[in-house]
Chain A
Amino acid sequence: MFKLNNYGTRKLVLDVCKNRLYSASAAVAPKTKAKQEPKRENESFMANIFRGSLVTKQVFPYPDVLSDEQKETVGGMLDPFQRFFTDVNNPARNDENSVIDPETLKALWELGGMGIQVPSEYGGLGMNNTQYARLCQIVGAHDLGLGITLGAHQSIGFKGILLYGTPEQKQKYLPKVASEETYAAFALTEPSSGSDANSIRCRAVKSADGTHFILNGSKIWISNGGLANVLTVFAQTEQVDKKTGEKKDKVTAFIVERGFGGVTSGPPEKKMGIKASNTTEVYFEDVKIPIENVLGEEGQGFKVAVNILNNGRFGMGATLSGTMKKCIEIATNHANNRVQFGQKIKNFGTIQDKLAQMSILQYATESMAFMISQNMDSESQDYHLETAISKIYSSECAWHVCDEAIQILGGMGFMKEPGLERVMRDLRIFRIFEGTNEVLRLFVALSGIQFAGNHLKELQRAFRNPASNLGFIFREASKRASSSVGLGGTDLSSFVVPELKEYAKNAAVCIDLFGRTTEAVLMKYNKNIINEQLVLNHLANAAIDIYAMIATLSRSSRAAQLNLPTAEHELNLTKALALQASERVIQHLKKASSGQLQTEKKMITAIATKIFDEEGVHSTGPIELN
């Protein structure tokens, strides 16, 4: 599920924005659009609120995709899977030794934990995303380091073969990686190519007879790099444009076996956390790759990489919701027993507040993760904004929750024994890899704006010739009046249980303001919006909190409707979140469109420029002794 790596979301978004959103050549009148093949409506709730419309299919009611049989199957696996982590695996030892011992790994293979989503005809368990997510929670609760080994293998290592493999490739590789103790890895990142994945330098040259490629180059920070015998590798290849005959470098994905020769790996990297996982450099020297090992189409490797990552990212939210649950359990246990000032510390308001906040964040993270996994399982194509939000949210909430758990344990939390310090170190990477949270915030804001911008353009064009586009304009007008921004008409009350109506209003107000703000900043900055990172960050932060409110409103409404024994508690978590999050959203949105932000930005630019010039702090010491 994770890789020690980022990818070029920013590049992607910027490229897309430059080419599509703001170029005049992209102008397609609504009228001509109808003649093309019918355009599929974007079903993403989040994308749509950027343009002020409410598309609730993915979020209300809370999805429930598992059949009774699927539920029973994964239900029966929870115990044995859990037992592996409590009886066989030892996370502290893995961390201490910076390696997982062979017996534990063997047990993990025997358990069947390495091919969870591989179809059963290839020797895997054939779990869908939601079933996988449930198992991920167990991994997250026990050992994130081992989770990386597991995730680098199946969430990204061989995911490309699952998504893009030919029947022959699947037949050849999937049985091995699902159950025959062959590790897989995903090799994209290079020393000069982190967030900007299109800039990789590994190169594969096709032989004159077209039967194979020769690959040269090196990769860094490859999880399972020292273990893997099957690697998904991305390299530049020369592609000839069929129309113009122009030669251009484009990324192609390959399935590379270590056995091809010329594949070597460096020593395991020494890391802050997730030490149990193996992270190495991987070198390719004249590696001969048969042509049938091209994964996907030649020149389409960047798309392959992005889709593998997008597809795997949902697992992180689920995993970290498990981690948070465990942190809360440890902290609760301590607070229930620790006596200070003559009473249990659980009686103190501060401790109560901390644990309540931690639970709210856990609930929201979990609600998002399973909303997304279930959307994906119902064949939704539009989950990229949501998975990015879930990645950002879960990695930051888990960090905060673990930090607070340590704080509740006090000095004890700082010691190795309760295990929280290891979790804290393990968690740090989650805000960095699989797309840094910074890049993903821009991705969220810019993809949303791009979507809204396209839509606005369409509307503007329609107004230029209202007579021939009346139908379009009327449809749009009625949409906006009933359920859209600009007019403040968002109403979520029909989607939630009566107890939550008032709180759904908080979310509705945010959604209205969100659409208005997006429109306002788009008008204000036009295409320069891509350079306004501070504005974009505020928009992204608002989007993230809105999604948290929606996911919890939806899930707890379901809990209440089903009369679950925990329904009342879940309603409380939701209400508290709605109050807190809506306040934050309004703050962010006001800031995004305020003049003050520009004043601030001037100062920030000035300060930063000075720091860069001076290569560090540039103030005279308080006692003038620098």
Chain B
Amino acid sequence: MARVLVGVKRVIDYAVKVRVKPEKNGVVTQGVKHSMNPFDEIAVEEAVKLKEKKLAGEIVAVSVGPTQSQEVIRTALAMGADRGIHVEVPAAEYELLQPVHVSKILAKLALEEKADLVILGKQAIDDDANQTAQMTAAVLDWPQATFCNKVEKTDAGLTIVREIDGGLETIKTKTPAVLSADLRLNTPRYATLPNIMKAKKKPLKKVTPKDLGVDTTPRIEIISVEDPPVRQAGAVVADVDALVAKLKEGGHV
């Protein structure tokens, strides 16, 4: 196969303690460490592996978002992607951008770039939507293989092991197809520092949703963003009877 498109989203780093803005209309992002969505790292790694096995010729990394999204494209390039496409959406507009928009953008790019495979992370750790891969496949009317645990090339196309509740499922699919990477698909490599330097020289194209003919008008309105409830202090009970009494009192049994 010739070309793989991977989606990379810039999200608040997994190790950061997320804080809600005082206005309760979102979370604090200014001055907060961001990095590539961990599932997208797995997607990039899988694409790079395919290239190393000579099953892929070129890897194109795509990110949709404000200017800073280019950071994660650079990371993907340092990991082994060949070129990048930044679909610029201004920060204010980006807050209301949804999988329905992103999937249309990715689908359009997949066709424009003549991609044979689109690999995405199964979900982003910020909005946890888990929709983009499925919607992209739908827009393209391509087969989809979500929650990939293993991807192998076979004569007809790909043999894919999927993570499902309580076990694994093996399926076959033709290409072109859309895959979504699950946690155990691989262990992403670290970008080495020399490769980060080399990545700076790799091409990075900038487009807008308008260029692609995708309407990004918001479909939602954020009413309120709340902190999760603070855990109530516990209490030590004297014995089992007291415990049962307490549980009954709380209506738990």
Contact = CB atoms under 8 A, between A and B. Distances in A.
Interface of A: 69, 72-73, 75-77, 79-81, 83-84, 87, 110-113, 116, 120, 123, 125-126, 179, 564-566
Contacts of B190: 80, 83-84, 87, 111
Interface in B37-86: 71, 74-75, 78
Contact of A113 (B191, B193, B200): B193
A72 B71 contact: yes
Given A76-B191, A112-B192, A125-B194, 15 more contacts: A72-B74, A73-B197, A75-B71, A76-B75, A77-B193, A79-B35, A80-B78, A80-B192, A81-B193, A111-B193, A112-B193, A112-B194, A112-B195, A123-B194, A125-B193
A75 B191 CA distance: 13
B176 to A, nearest CB: 31
B196 interface: yes
Contacts of A564: 31
B217 interface: no
Interface in B115-158: none
Contact of B78 (A75, A76, A84): A76
B224 interface: no
Interface in B188-237: 190-197, 200
Contacts of B78: 76, 80
Nearest to A88: B190
Contacts of B193: 77, 80-81, 111-113, 116, 125
A80 B191 CA distance: 6
Choose among A112, A116, A123, A179 the residue with the greatest number of B CB atoms under 10 Å from its CB: A112
Contact of A73 (B30, B35, B192, B200): B200
A357 B35 CA distance: 33
B233 to A, nearest CB: 14
A563 to B, nearest CB: 11
Contacts of B194: 112, 123, 125, 179
A126 B197 contact: yes
A521 to B, nearest CB: 47
A176 to B, nearest CB: 15
Interface of B: 30-31, 35, 71, 74-75, 78, 190-197, 200
A207 to B, nearest CB: 40
A79 B196 CA distance: 11
**Could you say which of B35, B74, B190, B193 has the most chain A C-beta atoms within 10 Å of its C-beta?**
B193
A439 B42 CA distance: 53
Nearest to A83: B190
B71 A111 contact: no
Contacts of B31: 564-566
B86 to A, nearest CB: 14
B159 to A, nearest CB: 31
A558 to B, nearest CB: 15
Nearest to B198: A120
Nearest to A112: B193
14 contacts: A75-B71, A76-B74, A76-B191, A79-B35, A79-B75, A80-B190, A81-B193, A87-B190, A111-B190, A112-B194, A120-B197, A123-B194, A126-B197, A564-B31
Which 10 A/B pairs are nearest by Cβ-Cβ distance? A112-B193, A112-B194, A80-B190, A80-B191, A565-B31, A111-B192, A112-B192, A83-B190, A77-B193, A76-B196
A343 B194 CA distance: 50
Contacts of B195: 112
A297 B75 CA distance: 44
A89 to B, nearest CB: 12
Contacts of A125: 193-194, 197
A75 B74 CA distance: 11
A36 to B, nearest CB: 44
Nearest to B32: A565
Nearest to B36: A79
A112 B199 CA distance: 14
A87 B31 CA distance: 25
B71 A76 contact: yes
A77 B196 contact: yes
Given A84-B190, A111-B190, A73 B71 contact: no
Nearest to A113: B193
B10 to A, nearest CB: 12
A319 B197 CA distance: 23
Contacts of B35: 79
B20 to A, nearest CB: 15
A126 B195 CA distance: 13
A274 B226 CA distance: 48
Given A76-B78, A79-B35, A110 B192 contact: yes
Nearest to A109: B192
A86 to B, nearest CB: 10
A79 B10 CA distance: 14
B30 A80 contact: no
